[in-house]
A = this chain, B = another copy of it.
């Protein structure tokens, strides 16, 4: 059976693109090294037609498929299980920019294009593809779409979903759906595009996408502001939205302990403001120029100082200073890793409920695990917190995780649910949060999702064991 499938795959792709021995750890182990799988074969098709041939061969043999892009996912959605019977379908060779239509502000790219290459191809036309996230140098646009990736520009430009106008998909039956529309308006039937976006490879395989491009801003300006409370940070967000409108492209929050870890592990990084309970990083993208951007920023921050919403602020004086401020923010996950293992939560909440969520959940965690240290930071403008729990000082991190992870997750996710939030803001469900989804999602929604899965993948061969 396996031998016959491998023969079919070799016939479809050529033997060089069907890897069955050698070191395949780049595909079989996830980026965080939490999942170690073993594939029957790693296959590397070079076109949508070859992807379709792979799917048809797998269907004919009743063998399941795991699609993979840049293998940078955080929830174990893109590596095979340990059975040695799944086919790992790498999209890496589908990496052509098929077309750029500057007058339509769109580009059509294949799924295996690295996000940074997509950004650069747009920039070469003086246009902006705004999706931006830490893994952009190695993640692929297909993976970004399959997981509806977020990142730092969502506040202004939306998630991956909002940046995609059309898709090409190989269905679970091995047919190619050409939905590569470059249209802003198209009301012809059910929204198949958004069903495949975020479906994590469980309904079909995204092979190409038509993306929405934006004008390049003429200038970007960054500032830090210090807030006494998280409620003040939320008030600053409202003030910034009212005064900057669509110019506000970044609004990140960093808790005092999170920044103290950066200071501890990366002491060379400049810290323009004294420590405060909450530090906000604001970014403005300006369609006019640097001076206009700075003028708006200074007006905003002065008014916020007067109102007592912030206690201090610093506006970057140069592009280099802007980069340093972003570097502070981006160093938090690294500083956290230096400090040791921790329990991560990628959660979303209505912005208005974040202050209460943090106060009450912090207290619940302290009661359950006295001394637990909370690394709290994230995309406050989107209501997205990375609310991570580090072992108490002097406690072994691995032992802490073994002893406390399930209880900590239950406390945090129960609080998320009570505050109308989501247990996965931008990382998806994958294998990691599959049981949590069953626990927290409404039975009605789960039943609808299962009906859709059954309808579009009746044999259950598309990335089984993920999401549902």
A residues whose Cβ falls under 8 Å from a Cβ of B = 101-106, 126, 147-148, 150, 154-156, 158-159, 161-162, 171, 175-179, 181-192, 194-195, 197-199, 203, 214-217, 234-235, 238, 241-247, 287-288, 296, 348-353, 379, 382-384, 420-429, 433, 437, 440-442, 444-446, 448-449, 451-456, 467-468
Asked if residues B246 and A420 are in contact (CB atoms below 8 Å), the reply is no
Q: Is the CB of A186 within 8 A of B425?
A: yes
13 other A-B residue contacts (CB within 8 Å) besides A186-B422, A190-B467: A103-B234, A150-B187, A154-B185, A184-B383, A185-B348, A185-B379, A188-B429, A189-B198, A191-B195, A215-B242, A217-B245, A245-B246, A246-B246
Knowing A177-B444, A246-B246, A444-B177 are in contact, say whether A350-B287 is a contact too (CB < 8 A).
no
Q: Is the CB of B350 within 8 A of A104?
A: yes
CA distance A190 to B176 in the complex (A): 20
Task: Please give the count of copies of this chain that the complex contains.
Answer: 2
Known A177-B445, A383-B184, A455-B455; contact A195-B189, beta-carbon cutoff 8 A: no
What are 28 A-B contacts defined by CB distance under 8 Å?
A: A103-B238, A105-B241, A147-B187, A150-B185, A175-B444, A176-B444, A177-B444, A178-B444, A182-B420, A185-B422, A186-B348, A187-B198, A187-B427, A187-B429, A188-B423, A189-B198, A189-B445, A189-B446, A190-B198, A190-B449, A190-B452, A190-B467, A191-B191, A194-B195, A246-B247, A247-B287, A288-B296, A451-B456
What chain B residues lie within 8 Å of A148 (beta carbons)? 187, 191
Across the interface, name the chain B residue whose C-beta is closest to A382: B184
